[in-house]
Amino acid sequence: MKVLVTGAAGFIGSNLVYHLLESRPSWKITALDLLTYAGNIENIAGLINDRRIEFIKCDIADPATVNELFAEKGFDLVFHLAAESHVDRSIHSAAEFIKTNVVGTQVLLDAALSSKVSRFVHISTDEVYGSLGPTGYFYETTLLDPTSPYAASKAASDLIVLAYFKTHGLETVVTRCTNNYGPYQFPEKLIPLFVTNALEDKPLPLYGDGLNVRSWIYVRDHCEALLCAAEKGVAGEVYNIGGTSDGEVNNRVVTAAILEILKKPETLIKPVKDRPAHDRRYAVDSSKINGIGWKAGILFREGLEKTIKWYVDNRSWWQSIKTGAYLEYYERNYGAR
């Protein structure tokens, strides 16, 4: 089986590459990534001598290079994860989100169609559904109502992917997952940002009242769900992916747990001005993917402890990121709050 993973040097992409090599050892994997600020070749450096994997640096929004690659390799299966993925950055500037998430997805779909890819798994997010009140869940049939430019660009790409199934018969599957956490997550997202700031005794900038709820899933559970959707999902369908029920918690609870595990004081918490259009709550109903044989297995506390240990043990990984352009972004996003 010849498999393409886009965004393979990012957080979920790199975890997926390790998972596929472990669980499907005969597969040949092409790991594609542009290595933007969020992509880090170090994430998959441990595989450099593994002959089952090849790394290609490529922009998914560049049709000439992408078409040539697909024609040459003849992929059977594509896991499409490459994206601009951070809500706060999409608020500062949306252009790259449209280029990569929307145009880049269309370029990949055209290449998949003309090279006769058998299955195209598009990795999306529950953020396309917008925001929930205190109760209820997002279902695959829930109306799309994205609020951030990031979520809107993902919703647009989801619809294009589904249209390629309806119009051209390309075997696509769309997955919509809740918030991931785990090793190799770029320290701009809540959990790795707060863990690394706490390790440096720096303030933890908690947006608004800190009562926004996310439904956290350990990244390895998400990777297992993606493999299940690829192998057992029905073409043209959407599958929600959510974590264990104890992972549905507000940001104050996540922050308190991080500080408790690291034995750091609550005085590090710094309430700051809220994010515009900050979605109040996300939570998905995962029964559809449960029905094809996948279920989240890692409890939030267990996953959080593992994740924190990873950041404690891999200080040089995140310390080398938190320099230069990262600090400029940090000042732009947090300086005036």
Helix (H/G/I), strand (E/B), else coil: 186: coil
Q: Does 179 bind ligand TYD (CB under 6 A)?
A: yes
Q: Does 81 bind ligand TYD (CB under 6 A)?
A: no
Backbone angles phi, psi at 316, to 5 degrees: -65, -30
CA dihedral (107, 234, 178, 89) in degrees, to 10, reads: 10
Which residues does 201 contact at the CB level (< 8 Å), separation at least 6? 264, 268
- Could you give the CA distance from residue 246 to residue 239 in angstroms, rounded to a whole number? 21
Residue 98: CB minimum distance to ligand NAD, A: 11
Backbone angles phi, psi at 115, to 5 degrees: -100, 5
Tokens 């956290």 label which residue? 216
Count Cβ atoms within 10 A of the Cβ of residue 285 and give its class: 0-12 exposed, 13-18 middle, 19 or more buried.
Answer: middle
- Which of 47, 128, 151, 177 touches ligand NAD (CB under 6 A)? 177
Question: Which of these ranges, 66-74, 82-90, 200-208, 285-293, lies near ligand NAD under the rule CB under 6 A?
Answer: 82-90
Closest CA to 30 of 62, 63, 68: 68
Please identify which of the residues 33, 59, 84, 127 carries the catalytic annotation.
127
Considering beta carbons, is residue 55 or 186 the nearer one to ligand NAD? 186
Q: Does 90 bind ligand TYD (CB under 6 A)?
A: no
Token output for 21: 């090599």
Strands 53-57, 28-33: pairing kind: parallel
Helix (H/G/I), strand (E/B), else coil: 4: strand
Q: Does 186 bind ligand NAD (CB under 6 A)?
A: yes
- Which of 205, 233, 243, 247 touches ligand TYD (CB under 6 A)? 205
How far from chain centre, in Å, is Cα 173?
16
Strand runs labelled E in 155-225: 172-177, 180-181, 204-207, 213-215, 217-218
For residue 90, the partner it binds in ligand NAD, ligand TYD, none, with Cβ less than 5 to 8 A by kind, is: none
For residue 330, the partner it binds in ligand NAD, ligand TYD, none, with Cβ less than 5 to 8 A by kind, is: none
- Which of 30, 85, 148, 244 touches ligand NAD (CB under 6 A)? 85
Considering beta carbons, is residue 317 or 330 the nearer one to ligand TYD? 330
Check if 201 is active-site: no
Question: Which of these ranges, 55-63, 110-118, 135-143, 291-299, lies near ligand NAD under the rule CB under 6 A?
Answer: 55-63
- Which of 4, 117, 170, 206 touches ligand TYD (CB under 6 A)? 206
- Could you give the CA distance from residue 273 to residue 337 in angstroms, rounded to a whole number? 5
Check if 239 is active-site: no
Token output for 241: 């992916």
* Planar angle of CA 91, 311, 214, nearest 5 degrees: 45
Site for ligand TYD in 183-202 (CB under 6 A): 189-190, 193
Which amino acid is present at 299? L
Q: Does 307 bind ligand TYD (CB under 6 A)?
A: no
Check if 158 is active-site: no
Residue 223: CB minimum distance to ligand NAD, A: 11
Site for ligand NAD in 26-45 (CB under 6 A): 33-36, 38-39
The binding site for ligand NAD (CB under 6 A) comprises 6-7, 9-13, 33-36, 38-39, 59-61, 81-85, 100, 104, 123, 125, 154, 177, 179-180, 186
Binding site for ligand TYD (CB under 6 A): 87, 127, 179, 189-190, 193, 205-207, 212, 214, 251
Q: Which residues are catalytic?
A: 126-127, 150
